[in-house]
Structure 1
Amino acid sequence: MEKVKNLVTLVNTKMKDAPQPPPLAFTLEDVDIGNGASSVVLVETKAPPPMSQASSNHRLARETYIRAAVAGNSWSCGENAGLHVDEWRERFNAMHTADSPATKRQGFSRARRKLQSEGVILVEDDIYIWHDPEVVDAINLQRNLRFANEEGPQR
């Protein structure tokens, strides 16, 4: 369990014979309980763990996912937007600062596994779906701007 400001995140780090459940996130909300007294309740939210707590590989994985989705053709808008692993891996390796291809490969694998175990991304048939509304919004906004610039000014 982790608390950062008013966000409380609960992550199951070990499972024996079942898939690891996604993390749970809650915000702390003040409530009036009468007679001038107040308390705090937990309200479930879909907020991801803070990026400031993430490793550099995690941040690089997020940034390269966004860039690959904006530049690529496999991104589809909507609820189940996803990106093929090859597009993501290529962008990750290009931006990773290590000299060794093995180090880059290991960094990508570790970041991808960690994000998957935390429930931040889901995978199906090599298509990775990032479950963070901020990431999806950033991709869709940048793609819309890219397509508007490619079409030129409207008459």
Structure 2
Amino acid sequence: MRSNVSHFKCDIAGGIARIALDRPERKNPLTFESYAELRDWFRDLHYADDVHAVVILPNGGNFSSGGDVHDIIGPLTRMSMKELLAFTRMTGDLVKAMLGCGKPIIAAVDGVCAGAGAIMAMASDLRIATPEAKVAFLFNRVGLAGCDMGACAILP
């Protein structure tokens, strides 16, 4: 399994992949590029014999603040319906790839875990949180559907 990624940290040793979003100065928000790279990485994971489990780690005291307000939320307000649909499919495909990767995923939650970050934690098989963890689903506060990234489908 490849660990040479551009938009998040990835270390693979002893059959365990340790990944973390890598923008601690902004509380690790996702960008269009990090969504796509994570989706592709989890899709490839299904075929990796050298990885037996994944741990999603916090970085700099935070798990993820969700979609980057400047790099995602702002541009979404200017997109056409076709572009919005493509973005929505990509975010849902990340969750599908996580659920279908065939490996157990553990979310180690610390600090902020909001929006898309909270959905990534929810799509994990096990969530372990520190007392400092703060989880929030904020999609409707920025004008997105409350079931963004398939949250309603995961809950049952």
TM > 0.5 fold call: no
TM-score, structure 1 normalization: 0.27
| Bigger Rg over Cα | 1
TM-score, structure 2 normalization: 0.27
